[in-house]
Amino acid sequence: MMRPVMRLPIALALLLSLAAPLAPAQSPVASGAAGAGDAAAVESVQAPRPLSPFVARYEADYHGKPAGDATLALVQASAPRWRVDLGIHGRRGMLGVLGLNVQQSTVFDSVDGAYRPLSQSTVRKGLFLGRSATGAYDWARGTAQWTGDLKDRHKAPVALQPGDMSGLLINLAIVRDARPGAVLRYRFVEGGRVRDHVYRVADAPETVAVGGLDFAALRVARTNGGDDETVVWVAEGVPTPVRILQREDGEDAIDLRLMEYR
């Protein structure tokens, strides 16, 4: 599999045909309070944005050229349990040649605004790409563990900490937590790996054009990714990022732009 695509869900790491058009978003309300994610103290006094089921479709560019599409869906099972699903399909260019098809899912609980993962799965299909892995977060024992097509060192149990999340949950948390000027801190635990993610939210929204509409969106950029940059744009009233950009060595790699959601 191509390296940028393997990390796409972490960036947000998102991409079904929808009949409903994009709904316009209002400009985010300015706030002087700085917020933080589950893995850090929350300084913002604003109430968490409640979850609501949605389906969103994105178009995907790879190195500036059309490459495919992706769908992100949030489904409520029975309170407080939810499931977030991601499907990525390569249809053009190199991703089309590879026949890329990635399916990811995380089942989680949402309690008092915090997202606690319970299980996570990833299936990758395509030319030379047949791989799958599943994992369980055992909060009673305080460990998470994965099985499947992984390196042996990634099959060992991982010690859990309060606030740990999968990549898809971090995407949801950024939408939940983004406030002007905030610093967001999360601990990524997925596929037997643990990484700290730190994001800086812009002080004011900027105009982002996607799906034929202009959105007033806050730019949220990861600050500790080294040469690999992840930038997410979040608009008030939209339950999913309106754009996700992953850059490598100073160049655009994966660019996801929201086309429609309901």
Q: What is the mean pLDDT of each run of 10 residues along the chain (262 residues)?
A: 32 28 29 34 49 94 86 92 92 67 93 94 81 96 96 96 96 95 97 96 96 95 87 95 87 88 93
What pLDDT, on a 0 to 100 scale, did the predictor assign at position 78?
86
The structure tokens 């390196």 sit at 151
Residues in the chain: 262
Put residue 203 in one of left, alpha, beta given phi > 0 → left and psi -120 to 50 → alpha: alpha
The structure tokens 């796409």 sit at 8
The structure tokens 């202009």 sit at 214
What pLDDT, on a 0 to 100 scale, did the predictor assign at position 131?
87
Ranges of H-type helices in the chain? 3-6, 8-11, 93-98, 167-177
Dihedrals phi, psi of 240, to nearest 5 degrees? -140, 155
pTM for this model (two decimals): 0.79
Spatial separation of the C-alpha atoms in residues 148 and 134, rounded to whole Å: 6
What pLDDT, on a 0 to 100 scale, did the predictor assign at position 82?
97
Q: What tokens does 238 get? A: 């939209």
